[in-house]
Amino acid sequence: MTSQNEFNRYVEEYNQAYIALLTRASLGDYHRLLSSFIPLKDLLDLIRVMHDTLKYAYQVLPYPFPFRDNEPFLRALAFNEGQIRNIFEFLNHVQTTQGKSFEACLVQSLT
């Protein structure tokens, strides 16, 4: 069984990976980025299940999925206007290349 400390570590690792992937998007590096977000979303789902079923407390909040239309949040993470534009362009890139939204791709990966 996991402990509260391990749960906290999972959330911190999730947040670090989230920032790393957003940083790639902010730099316009979209190569295989969608496939990198899928296990991250799975980790967030696991964190939520652990929180709900094992009653662990969020001492550190996991960053929100999705990040679409959340420019204030991205600014709070220290992304500038150009980087935010690239992050949102990644969402357009997914729509163009996959024929569906980023969020729909994440949901489909679960089925």
Tell me the pLDDT of the chain averaged across its residues. Answer: 93
Mean pLDDT, rounded, for 51-61: 95
Q: Which of 56, 52, 38 is nearest to 104 (CA)?
A: 38
Please give the structure tokens belonging to residue 101: 């939204």
Total number of domains in the chain: 1
Which residues touch 111 (CB under 8 Å, ≥6 apart)?
none
CA separation for the pair 51, 57 (Å, rounded): 7
Q: pLDDT band at residue 69, thresholds of 50, 70 and 90?
A: confident
Mean pLDDT, rounded, for 89-101: 96
pLDDT at 26: 98
pLDDT at 50: 95
Reported pTM = 0.90
CA separation for the pair 85, 80 (Å, rounded): 9
pLDDT at 36: 95
Q: Which residues form the domain of 101? A: 4-109
Between 68 and 101, where is the model more confident?
101
